[in-house]
Amino acid sequence: MSTKRLRPLVDALRGKRVQEAMNALRFVPGPAALRISMVLKSAVSNAENNMMMNASRLKVVGATVDGGPVIKRFRARARGRVGSVHRPTSHITIVVDEVE
């Protein structure tokens, strides 16, 4: 998914508590919110299991979306010609930390 679709959602999550961020993503339509919520759940479970943090006290400290490689394909067009199709990908990074 392109970074243009993901960045506004990620910017809205930065600085919120994890539970607030999950609730906000639940009511946003579209596949972008689903992908970001999957990454957020992964970040929370990594913080719980690897760093022994409490999930109820986690906060989204940093969240970025960077461009990834572009998948290039071709599609048949009229009169025997070819049209190029570019499928952009992105790298979503979410950093969580405990708040006291």
Residue 95 has pLDDT above 90, yes or no: yes
Ordered structural domains, the chain, with CATH: 3-98 (3.90.470.10)
Output the pTM of the full model.
Answer: 0.89
Tell me the pLDDT tens digit for each residue of 43-94.
999 999 999 999 999 999 999 999 999 999 999 999 999 999 999 999 999 9
Q: How many CB atoms lie within 10 A of CB 98?
A: 15
Nearest C-alpha neighbor of 95 from the set 56, 45, 43: 43
Question: Residue 68: what pLDDT?
Answer: 96
Dist CA 16 CA 40 (whole Å): 12
Dist CA 33 CA 10 (whole Å): 9
